Structure 1
Amino acid sequence: MKYLTRTVWILSFISLLTDVASEMLYPIMPIYLKSIGFSILLIGILEGVAEATAGLSKGYFGKLSDHSRKRAPFVQLGYVLSAVSKPMMAVLVYPVWIFFARTIDRLGKGIRTGARDALLSDEASPATKGRVFGFHRSMDTLGAVAGPALALLFLYFYPGQYRTLFLVAFVPGLLAIGLSFYLKDRKTVVKENKTPVGFFSFLRYWKSSPAVYRKVVVGLLVFTLSNSSDVFLLLKVKQAGLSDTATIGVYIFYNLVYALAAFPLGMLADRMGLKKIFVSGLLLFIIVYTGMTITGSWYWYGFLFFLYGLYAAATEGISKAWISSITHKADTATAIGTYTGFQSVCTMLASSFTGWIWFQFGAGNAFLITAIIAIFVFFYFLLTIPEPVVDDVRSTNS
C-alpha cells in the first residue's frame, strides 16, 4: 500500500483525533447550550452563523492556498483554531463569547478543508484517488465512532459535567495540533504573484472551471439541497420510541459502518469507476429515506442506518476524489473549497426546508420529498455525467 504515504497517514490521524474531539461534544452540545440559558431559537441562529462562516471561508482559503502554492500552513492553522475553540466554550458562558468560540471552530474548518484535500490529491495518482480519499474518510469517521462513545462513558461516571467534557475534548485536539506540524509542503518553484485574493474571488473560478466540473457540482449541490442534517433521522428514530441511549447507539453504529466501508469502497471505485460507486451510494440514500417513511422496530432502523453508513462511504470521499480528478492540479484547493463552501450553504437551506415540511406536513412527507429529489439527481448523474477520464484534464495544467 505504497499509496498510503507519510502525508496521507498524518492527515488521516489528525482528522481522526479532531473528529474524536468534535464528536465528543456533538451529542451534548444542544443539552449544554440549553443548560446555560440558550433558547432553541438562539441555538438555531448559532449553528446557522457557524455553518455560514465555514461555508463562505472554504472557497476563499482554498483559493488562497492555490494562490500561494502552500498547503501545510492552512492545515495547521485550521486545526489549531478548531482545537482551541473547545475549552473556550467552557471558560465563559456569555452568548457573545459562545458565538465567538463556535465561529472560531467553524472558521478553522473553512481554513483547512481545501488545502487538506489538495494535499491528499497531490499524494494520490489518478488510479489511487478513490482509495486515498476513502482511507482518509475511514480514519476521520472512526473519530465519529470513538467520540460519542467516550462522551457517553464520561457522562456515565460524571453526569452533567458538560463544561469538564469540553476541557477533556481539548486533549485529542492538542495531539492533532502536534501532528499537524509534521506536515511539509512539497518543494516547488513558486512564481511570485502579487495579485490580491479577494474574499469572494473564488466565485470567479466557477466561470473558468472545466465544464464537467460545473456539471458535477450542480448535481452534487441539488442533491445537498435535499440532504438535510442527520439530526432529522435521529429525531425520527427517537419519535419511534427508542431511548436516548439507543438513539445515540444507532448514530455510533452508522459511523462505524461508514468508517469500515469507506476505504474498501474507495478501492472499488478506483477499479470500477468513481461514478459507478457514487450513483450506487445515491441509490442507497433513496432506499433509506423511503424506508424512513415507515415506522418500524429498532431492527428496521438498524438496517436503514447500516445502509446509510454504506451510502456515506460511497459518496463523501468519492465526490472529492471525483472533483480532484476533473480539475487542474493548480486549482484543486479552489475547486474543492468552492464546492464545499456552496455545499455548506445548501445544507443550511436543506435543513430549514426539511424542518418546515416536517412541521407543516409531517415526518413521512419530509423524507418522501427528499427521496424524490434524490431520484432525479440519481438519473441526472447516471444519464448525463460521464465517468471521469482523469488523465486528460489534470495533465493539461500540471
Structure 2
Amino acid sequence: MYLADRSAPAGAKTAPQTAPDGGPVRSPAVASAVLALGTVSLITDVSSEMVTAVLPLYLVAGLGLSPLGFGALDGVYNGVSALVQLTGGHLADRVRNHKLIAGIGYGLSALCKPLLLLAHSLGPVGVVLALERTGKGLRTAPRDALISLSTPAGLQGRAFGVHRAMDTTGALLGPLAAFFILNTAVGGYDAVFGVSACVAVLGVVVLMLFVPSGAGPGPAGPAGPAAVDPGAVQPGSPESGAPKPAPKPTAVNLREAAALLRLPRLRALALCAALLGLTTVSDAFLYLLLQDRTGIREQWFPLLPLGTAAVFLLLAVPAGALADRVGRRTVFLAGHALLLAGYGLLLWAPHWPALPYLVLVLHGLFYAATDGVLPAAVAATVPPKLRATGIALVGTGQALARFGCSLAFGAVWTLWGAVPALAAAAAGLCCCAAVAGFVLRPAAPDTAPEPARHP
C-alpha cells in the first residue's frame, strides 16, 4: 500500500485468479494506454533531452553564467514544474479528464521550444524555460494517473517501469540527436532548438490520436476491485457496497484533495520524497561535476546523459517488477544508496579512467530504482478518484526540494568550490536516507482489520 509494502494490498490478492475454464489467469500484457503514453513520452523526451543535453554548456560556456546563476536557472527549470504539478493533478481529477490536462501540458511545452530560438540572454531564457516546465508540471500527474488507473494494483511497478523504459529511450535518443546536430548542422544550438520543436509537435499529435480518453477512475476501470481496496479510505466516494457497475463519479473538490494529507502513509511518502530530494544533485550539475573532475572535452558533453539513460532503459522494467515482489521500500532506498556511491566516487576517485562510466551507471541505477517506484507506491495509497492529486502532492514536494538543492548546491559551488558542495550533498543524502528508512519501515501487520475489532 505504500513504499514498505511488498506489492499491493492484501485485498488485491483475493481478486479472481482463475479463468472460466478453471485454469490460472495469466497476467495481461501491458495495457494499451500505458504503451500509447510511453510512445508519447518517448517522442517528447527526444525533444526535451535534445535541449537538456546542450543547455548546461549553452548557458555556462555560451552565455557565461556562473555556477550560482546556473543553479538559479536550473532551480527555476525544476521548481516551476513542481508548483504547477499540484494544479495539474487536481484539475485532472476535478474535470474527470486526465488526457485533456495532459494534452494541454504537452502542447504548452511544444509551443515553448521554438521560442528558445529567440532567447539569447538569461532573462528571456529563464521565462521560456519556466513556461516549458509549466507544461511539464501540468502533464506529469495526469499521465501517471492514467498509467495507474489502467493497471491492476499488483502490477503497478511493472507498468511504470515499462513507461519509464520507453520514456528513457527518448532520453537516450535526444542527446545523440543533439550531438550529431551540433557537429553537422549550421547554426549549432539554434539548429538543436528548431529540430526539438518539430519533434515535440509530433508527440502532441500521437497523444491526441492514440491515447484513450476513457481511462478514468472508478470501479469499472481496468484495475478492478483491487485498485479501490487499499486502506478503504476514499474521501467523498460512494458507499463501497454499491453494486452498480459504473456509477457516475462526483466532481472532486479542494476539501477532498486536502483530506489526502490526513492519510498517514501518504504523508510518510511525501516527507521522505522531500527529504531525499533536498540532497539529490540535479542531473545537469552531476554532468558538470563529471566534466570538472575528469576534464571531458566540450564536444562530448552532450553524450554524458546517454550513460544514465542507457542503464535506466535496461533496468527500469526489472526494477519495477522487483519492487512489486520484494517491496518498494527496499528498492527505493537501495536506489538512493547507489546514488550516494556515485557521489563518493566523484569525491575520492577523480583520476580513475573508468570514473565517468561508473558514475553514469550508478546514476542510471538510481533512476531505475526510484523514478517509477515512487508513483507506483503513491498509486497504491490513494483512491482512484484522487489518483492524480495524490501523485501530484508527493511529486510537488520532491520537486520543490530538488529546486532548493539546486539553489544551495550552486551557491556552495560558487563560494567554496565543487568538492565542498558535493561533500555536503553526500553527507546530507546519507542522513536523509537513514531517516527515510525509519519512516518507511513496514507497518504493523494487521492494521486493516482493526476497525472490525473496534466498531
Give the alignment's TM-score, normalised by structure 1: 0.88
Letter in 1 for 2:178: A
Deviation of the 1:57 alpha carbon: 1.1
Question: Which position in structure 2 is the counterpart of 1:169?
Answer: 196
CA distance in 1, matches of 2:60, 2:429: 34
Post-superposition Cα deviations, 1:216-244, rounded to whole Å, max 9, x if no partner, equal 21111111001121222222221222222
Say if 2:181 is the partner of 1:128.
no
- Say yes or no: does 1:264 pair with 2:290: no
**Alignment of structure 1 residues 91-170 onto 2, 5 Å:** 91=118, 98-170=125-197
Contact 1:65–1:115 (Cα < 8 Å) also in 2: yes
- State yes or no: 1:2 paired with 2:19: no
RMSD (Å), alpha carbons: 2.9
Matched to 1:215, the amino acid is: A
Pair 1:101–1:371, CA change in 2 (3 A): closer
Q: Deviations over 1:43-81 (max 9, x none)?
A: 655544443332111111211211222211011111111
Instruction: Give the Cα–Cα distance (whole angstroms) in 1 for the partners of residues 267 and 104 of structure 2.
Output: 30
Q: Is the 8 A contact 1:273 1:387 kept in 2?
A: no
Deviates more, 1:148-157 or 1:36-45: 36-45
**Which string of whole-angstrom CA distances, capped at 9 and with x for unpartnered residues, describes residues 276-332 of structure 1?**
111211211121112211122331221122122111100111111111111222221
CA–CA separation in structure 1 for the residues paired with 2:256 and 2:343: 34
- Retained in 2: the 8 A contact 1:202–1:338? no
Structure 2: distance between partners of 1:92 and 1:250: 25
* Residue identity in the other structure for 2:202: L
Please report how far the alpha carbon of residue 380 of structure 1 lies from its aligned counterpart in structure 2 after TM superposition: 2.7
The 1:30–1:270 alpha-carbon spacing in structure 2 relative to 1, beyond 3 Å, is closer
> What is the CA distance between 1:258 and its match in structure 2?
1.1
Counterpart of 2:436 in structure 1 is: 381
Q: In 2, Cα distance between the equivalents of 1:30 and 1:58? A: 24
Give the SS at the match of 1:293.
helix
Q: Partner of 1:298: helix, strand, or coil?
A: coil
Cα distance change, pair 317–186 in 1 and its aligned pair in 2 (3 A): closer
Q: How does 1:9-158 map to 2 (within 5 A)?
A: 9-32=35-58, 40=66, 46-91=73-118, 98-158=125-185
Paired with 1:272 and 1:221, the residues of 2 have a C-alpha distance of: 24
2:371 pairs, out of 313, 316, 332, with: 316
Aligned equivalent of 1:372: 427
- Give 1:372 deviation, angstroms: 2.2
Matching residue of 2:214: 185
Matched position secondary structure for 2:152: coil
Q: 1:29 to 1:364 in 2, by over 3 A?
A: closer
1:136 Cα shift? 0.9
User: For structure 2, which runs of at least 5 residues remain unmatched after alignment?
Assistant: 1-26, 217-245
CA 1:226–1:96: 2 relative to 1, 3 Å? closer
Q: Which moved more, 1:182-191 or 1:236-245?
A: 182-191
Cα deviation, residue 248, structure 1: 3.5
1:303 equivalent in alignment to 2:358: yes
CA separation of 1:34/1:248 partners in 2, compared to 1, >3 Å: closer, same or farther?
closer
Report the CA distance shift for 1:61/1:189 in structure 2 as closer, same or farther (over 3 A).
farther
Distance 1:344 1:205, change over 3 A: farther
- The corresponding residue for 2:284 is 231
The 1-side partners of 2:205 and 2:52 are apart by: 23
Look up the match of 2:404: 349
Paired residues, number: 388
Query: Is contact 1:69-1:190 (8 Å) kept?
Result: no
Do the aligned partners of 1:275 and 1:388 also contact (CA within 8 Å) in 2?
no
Match of 2:269 in 1: 216
Distance 2:304 2:57 in 1: 19
- Percent of matched pairs sharing the same residue: 26
1:3–1:128 contact (8 Å) kept in structure 2? no
SS of the residue 1:128 aligns to: helix
* Bigger radius of gyration among the two: 2
Displacement of 1:185 after TM fit?
2.1
Cα offset for 1:112? 0.8
- Offset of 1:163 from its aligned partner? 1.9
Residue type at the aligned position of 2:363: Y
**Alpha-carbon spacing, 1:283–1:175, altered in 2? closer, same or farther (3 Å):** same
Unaligned runs of at least 5 residues, structure 1: none
1:274 partner amino acid: R
Equivalent of residue 242 in structure 1, options 296, 300, 310: 296
Secondary structure of the structure 1 residue equivalent to 2:296: coil
Of the three residues 269, 283, 305, the one matched with 2:337 is 283
68-77 vs 294-303, which deviates more? 294-303
TM-score w.r.t. structure 2 length? 0.77
Moved more, 147-156 or 224-233: 224-233
CA distance in 2, matches of 1:381, 1:288: 19
Larger proportion of helix? 1
User: How far apart, CA to CA, are the structure 1 residues paired with 2:202 and 2:72?
Assistant: 31
Structure 1 pair 368/47, CA: closer, same or farther in 2 (3 Å)?
A: closer
In 1, distance between residues paired with 2:390 and 2:65? Answer: 37
SS for the counterpart of 1:227 is coil
Residues 282 and 351 of structure 1: is their aligned pair in 2 closer, same or farther, counting only changes over 3 Å? Answer: same
